[in-house]
Amino acid sequence: MSQHADPPRAAEEEPVFAAVRLGDRAALANALDAGMPATRVNAAGDSLVMLAAYHGRADCVALLLERGADADAVNAKGQHPLAGVCYKGDAAITALLLDAGASPEGSPAASRSPLMYAAMYNHAPVTRLLLEHDADWARRSPEGKTALDLAREMRAVHTIPLLEAATTR
């Protein structure tokens, strides 16, 4: 996991962050071609890849990863791109991040893992991807609950069997 290597610049960079939120791949490509590092963060500490992932912009995530963005870069609040994507249930972006080397555990400092979010919100394809990338199904939240415990509490009928199968392997 890396820290933010490139400090944010002034307001001239805000348009590219807005473009990423909106999924404007062309504007992002132009900014990167003009020399903006793919690792750039904004004043809030969010990386371009974090914003693209959270807003469901798979094409922007792919471009950023191709250009050297860190799939494991946490923001200033300790949030990991994978956690937000798993909360939302975006399997395509989950796969992009995992294939680019993102830890399936997300931020070690986070109280819940990406698997916990995917499991409790019943996102079976994302849960399956995380388990295929060796996400720790036995990891516990601060309350002592595993992803399976959380899925059961939320009655996540599609993820419970996946987690039960993982615990018996």
User: Does residue 90 lie within any of the structural domains?
Assistant: no
Rounded CA-CA distance 75/78 in Å is 5
pTM, rounded to two decimals: 0.89
Residue 113 lies in a domain: yes
List the CATH number of the domain containing 38.
1.25.40.20
In a domain, 156, yes or no: yes
Tens of pLDDT, residue by residue over 43-102, are 888 999 999 999 999 999 999 999 999 999 998 888 999 999 999 999 999 999 999 999
Q: How many domains does the chain have?
A: 2
Range of the domain at 137: 104-169
Q: What is the CA 65 to chain-centroid distance, rounded?
A: 12
74 within a domain of the structure (yes/no): yes
Residue 142 CA to residue 120 CA, distance in Å, equals 15
| Residue 31 lies inside a defined structural domain of this protein | yes
- For residue range 139-160, what is the model confidence (pLDDT) as tens digits? 999 999 999 999 999 999 999 9
